[in-house]
Structure 1
Amino acid sequence: MSIPHLLVHSPKDNVGVVVVEGLKAGIEMFCVVTETNKDFRLITNADVPIGHKVALTDLAVGDTAIKYGEDIGKIVAPIKKGEHVHTHNLKTKRW
């Protein structure tokens, strides 16, 4: 049994959360969708800190980031599948 690198809460999500320390670019992550217990693999394109997000698909400016099956913000810079998603390319809609 593998320990997940990335958790995705809902099949609707387009970002997942890194759950291991020291995730480096080029790692093939073991990813688990917690709602369905399905798993998949995804290669990260950047070093990503624990607790930060990774794009599950290419995201364009203006797209909505979905986490927990919910809208968590707007994409403000293009993001490729496997890239780090954070304040440099995602803006919350809360404020």
Structure 2
Amino acid sequence: MTENKFVQLHPHDNVIVCCRSAQKGDQINITNQVITLDSSVTIGHKIACQDIAAGEQILKYGASIGSATEAIKTGQHVHLHNMKSDYIASHTRHSVTGE
């Protein structure tokens, strides 16, 4: 088993964050469970630490960072291929002062 390759930033998060590169098939012991990675990931990338339904919010830092565009299984890589941002794109924001 590999240790300390991932961290859960908040107890309510449904993703864990990679701290050291990890390989497909690695087993991570975190959040009182053993998670087997379905793909290799690099630093900063997210892995689901529980099943996430399509449309469900992706929680990181205890806050939503987007929502799942498809069902995501525990151990799957969570990134732009299966989630979308729920934030307003910066190019569509308007200044309150009109600047």
Normalising by structure 1, we get a TM-score of 0.82
Corresponding residue of 2:68: 75
| Identical columns (%) | 33
Residue type of the alignment partner of 1:15: V
Corresponding residue of 1:15: 15
Structure 1 unaligned spans of 5+: 34-38
CA RMSD of aligned residues (A): 1.7
Moved >3 Å (runs of 4+): none
Larger proportion of strand: 1
Corresponding residue of 2:28: 29
Corresponding residue of 2:79: 86
Q: Secondary structure at the match of 2:72?
A: coil
Which whole-Å deviations, capped at 9, do the CAs of 1:19-76 have from their partners, x for residues lacking one?
Answer: 102x111101243x7xxxxx65322111112110000111111100001100110100
Corresponding residue of 1:45: 38
Structure 2 unaligned spans of 5+: 89-99
Normalising by structure 2, we get a TM-score of 0.79
Q: 2:48 aligns with which of 55, 64, 85?
A: 55
Q: Secondary structure at the match of 2:7?
A: strand
